[in-house]
Structure 1
Amino acid sequence: IFSLFQSDKWELKEVTALLMAQQTALEIIVNMCCSEDPSDDEWEELSSSDESDLFMENSYNEGSGLLMSPLCLSDEVNSAFLNNLIPKKILEKTAFPNSVALDICMHNPSWKPLIKKLNAVQCRALTCLHSILLVSDVDCLGGASALQSLAQHLSQLVFSKMELPTDIEFLEAITSALRALLQTMASKNISQCMTPEQLLALCEAGIHSSNASVRVNVVSILGISGSVLAKGQDTAETLKMIGKFLLEVAMKESSLVVAGEALDALFDVFADGKEAEKAAVQIKLLPALKEFQPVFKMRIRKEGKGQYSTDQLCVLDNVKMNLRRFIAYQETLGKTPT
């Protein structure tokens, strides 16, 4: 693309058309993997970073991509994806736009609108990656080492700058991809590359987003990672931090959907394990949930009708039932406050 970056109008038109074609192609792939259309809103703010080529070089073998084709696609489409290295190209588009290209756009008023289009392509690529992760198994994704490389790549996108990202569209796309990736890795007992400190930092940033989907994603990410940590040793202190964070979200979150996700995450993190039991006692999880239970039930009754869809209300009813069961389970462990 960037070899086309010249000043005349014809080349500007060509680059604009090429970026729109890439965005459309990514959206088509997303639609192949799921029934819901992604948002067409474009990224509003400038975001740039030099992206190391090392990840791309290490993550692929010649002639095959890190990510194989979604299982829902036909054999013919699978073959076309692999033969044309589509998975590799998708992942390359998740990188931040090239800093040289951004500099050209910033200093040329007629090219400056392309910054939003470059960033929109990145967000669509992340959404596309999320969709592929949801419909592919581990072997199709390239195995454990490929997933760990992908986790490092996504972590770099989040933590490569001095400040964590705040743009809503980018945050939704990156947290959705991370959520799907970490869930896949956890289900196959693949060690995760992000540290608890990084996860908590991401969640602290995401939970203040005005976008409820971002808040749901970061809460889910913390629940997935916490449930993995609960199986390890000497993790009680980290589990305490995770538990306190999730409790606060459940009790203070304005959206019932996000609050319900936080409760689900708590159930996952503290479902089993000596370290989880120890942490639960120290943060007084059981009495906190027993006190919150009637509040949550009342909120569902008062706020549920009219504000949430039937599907969302069904999920919230399940959370309410699971909360009752989880409290009963904690009581059987004898984890009462001293």
Structure 2
Amino acid sequence: MSSSYRNFRNSVSWLILFLEAVFIVLFYFLLSIRHTDDVLLINSYPAFQVVNHMVIFGFGFFLMFLKRLIKAAMSMTAVVISTGAVLGKTNPVQLILMTVLELIVFHMSRWINITFLKVEHNISMMHVHLFGAYFGLAVSSRFSEPSPRSEKNASTPKSDLLSMLGTLFLWVFWPSFNSVLFESNSWRAICNTYFGLAVSAVTAFALSVLTTKDGKFRMTHIHSAVLAGGVAVGYAAHSIKYPWIAMILGLLASVITVLGSYCSQRCLNPPLKLHDTSGVHFTFGMPAVLGALAQVVLLIIENWTNLPSLGYLVMIQVGAFCLTISIALITGFIAGLILNLTVFKTIPVSKYFEDQFYWEFPHLAVGF
């Protein structure tokens, strides 16, 4: 154990210091804060704070169920979602490398969508849920499955409470997340997101009772499905003109999340030998697919009278959607192969969901 610990200490410490030095050099050559940026910084800082609270507290607590300013923070959402798919199966070195790789690839995907497909900046950023979920699933497919009888891959009342606290943070701040990049109609994006979240939350509680044998609320249903409406509405939050549309999207997203959890865990994951620790597929992936398809349908309805350009607009949106998923799956699969190289000391299956190797736990010390 001691020799292995020294190897871990050397690898993770030098990797962190190396990446820190790289960022300092990049900031020295590429970034400067000018006086003309003062107004921009002052106006964007409140939104920057909101997104940071959402990413750090919301997603941070949300995943605690186991024993350029704003755009940069929003991009981290993809990484946090992907981490949920491999949580407990990777070591810190692998997570750091996955973070760097995913951020680079996600921005490359956005650049292709914006440059060649002419997708709007705010719409391309909404692909963050789609990309994060399927990149994480592809990475997870390269790791061994944990034992189905593993007692470590479970929650406790205390961890469920912390996870629900993260859900509450995300629920409160999600309207800001969906509206922060829209210069116009941001008020509409906020209202539509609230409508979608409200309906998905109510539907989550109803379906949880209806789909359980004992007729009780299940925490796993609640802390996943109540957020589905915010994910689904995100693509078209600024353009939905009638509240009932956002409400229907919230309802459908919640249904897909709850029923999708059964389908994924029983029908899809076993044949693919895929283990999704946090259920990111049905929490973020499926609602994001619903939102992308809903955006296309709304686009067709709004431009029905302009048939010559309708086909081109639909092709662009569908192309961006397919391109994002394809890049996420392909690069995630490659990243998973890289992370499983011997040099990165992959965790054995018997040690999944354990933190004692990397963190000090005083209560586990002898004589405590």
Q: Same fold by TM (over 0.5)?
A: no
Which TM-score applies when normalising by structure 1? 0.28
Give the number of the structure whose residues are more often helix, by fraction. Answer: 2
Higher relative contact order (CA 8 A, sep 6+): 2
